[in-house]
Structure 1
Amino acid sequence: MAKVSLNLVKEVLQRNGIDARKLAEVLNQIRQEAEADAVEREKPVKKHHVVLVSSPEGGLPDDLVGWVVQVPEDDNPMVAAKRIVETAERFNASPRGKKLPLA
């Protein structure tokens, strides 16, 4: 829904001959709805990036394979790999995952 200024709404209602008391009541209701809408919105969770590096041989080879993932700021970055594995296992247990399993 498009955002419209209260002044524009007021001008349009006045041009259409709305009673002053009714106009004030409508504008008050619009303000209350706008405030309620502003309260309902949650702030997005702040996240930081974690780099996961795959090294199957155990050492640091010349070429590294890695992934960059986002985790919430208040979460421990050490559990990112564990969560990815758990999510893949849950997906593979689902009907869709049984048809197209993740490796």
Structure 2
Amino acid sequence: MPKIDVSKVAEILKKNQLDPSLLRRVIEDINLAVQPEPGDEEKPPAVKKQFVILISDPEGRFPKEDFAGWVLQIPETESPATTADRFLRATYDYNASKKGRLYPAKTVGEALENVPAKFFKEADLWVKTKTPVIVLKTDNEIPKE
């Protein structure tokens, strides 16, 4: 939408011989509409955040060492068991493309870092972290003290 100066609008309205009281009210309304709102102040830059996967492990089945993983999203109506198939299908499609034939993804990490989001989106999979994040485990208990 093109921008126009308020003074030009006033000149056009005067030229069309509007009633002076109506002209003044219209110009006042336009001036109020043009003024910036008090909530439009600049916000400080957002703090960068890190994704962490927190796993409930009350029986202690996970290994004692730290391990890494990636955060992914799939449609809510789909089973999480289909995630690996979706990932492999997107990677196979990328490797079959022209760029994929030149620079194929050979590992899960390479695929998650290098395969464009277009291939994952076609498989209804969204990669939230391209680099691995540390997976933490908890015993699912809140201490009393």
**Structure with the largest fraction of helix:** 1
TM-score, L = length of structure 2: 0.36
Which is bigger in relative contact order (C-alpha 8 A, separation at least 6)?
2
TM-score, L = length of structure 1: 0.47
Flag the structure with larger Rg: 2
